[in-house]
Structures are given as structure tokens and as C-alpha cells.
Amino acid sequence: MIFRLTERDLRTKFGTFREILYYDGQTESMAIVMGDVAGQADVLCRVHSHCVGAHIFNSIECECREEMECSQFLIEQAGRGVIVWLDQEGKGNGHLALMASTEYKRQGFPQAEAYRKAGFEADDRSYRPAAEILTDLRVESIVLLANNASKADDLRKASIAVSATKAMTIGEELAELFQNELRKGYSKT
């Protein structure tokens, strides 16, 4: 069971979100929420796993940072949405697995296979905390921002209504708009 610990307003370059910290007895998880999502259907939602390389060191070996920024941008444009941040580095295997799998990735193996070759699970993430957070926020249904269809399946198994998925790709038109917004800095409050 997950518990809401505290919350605050968080100003970002994509507007002001409500940051909510959760704890399940072992791990902290967070949600950032824009707008009123309680009782709402088709709320944009990104379930995002921690990534030291991208979020702290600006690594170019993955798209994690860009996916987070794109999610915030799309939510800002919609005026409401949720991003759930889970402490699940390396697809739930930890940072050691990520580092140990690097050589296999460089040899051309997909990330899941690289983890297996390094002796780890292909994907050891749990979306239970995300489901509990969405339930706590009383979201009726979500449009999941994800490139991984199994995320939607796992959330549905946890009784979350996923009405649709939206791929995390930045088309040419959105890329230009997105870059213009980034150059401006804070775009809304």
C-alpha cells in the first residue's frame, strides 16, 4: 500500500505542476500533476522510470530525458495530466544492470536482450506503485504516453482504465513547437 507523504507546487519550464511524494514502505515514488485530474477521463499520463544517465548526466544513450520533457510539454498543451516517477533504474534491475549491459547495447543488442546477456531480467519493473498513485489521484481513465505497450497491459491488470496509448515520438511540427517552448524557458505560470 502506498501513502501520500507531502506535496508542493513545482515550477518547471512547462508550467506549474503539483508534486506529490509517495512512499510504500520501501521506495519513494512521485507524481507531478497539472490541472484537475480527479474524476476525469482520458487524462494524459506518463509512467516514467528513474534514469541517472539521462536525468542527471544528460546521457545521449537513451531517450529518457526527451520523453520526460515531451510528456511535460504535451500535458502543458492539454492543460492537465499526470507524470508518475518510479525509482526503477535499468528497467527495475538497478544502475548496476544498466552499466553491465552497456557493452551488449554497443554491440547492437536491444536493451532487453542486453540485460539478459548481462545476467538480469529483461524488464523487472512493477507498475503497482503507479496504479496506486493513479487510484489515489482518483483519475477515471488515462491516455498513456508510452512506447511500450506492455505498460498499458500491466496498468490494466492493476485495474487502471487505459483508454488509449500515445506513442512518445516527436514529429517535425511538434519538434519545432517544442523547441520554441524550450527556448522561452517558463512557458506558463
Q: Which residues are catalytic?
A: 123, 125
Distance CA 128, CA 71 (A): 21
Distance CA 103, CA 61 (A): 12
* Beta bridge partners of residue 16, listed in sequence order: 11
Best CA proximity match to 141, nearest among 107, 165, 120, 123? 165
Best CA proximity match to 131, nearest among 108, 158, 157? 158
Best CA proximity match to 111, nearest among 91, 125, 126, 86? 91
Side chain identity at 109, as an amino acid letter? F
Helical (H) or strand (E) element with 80: none
HEC profile for 38-51? CCCCCEEEEEEECC
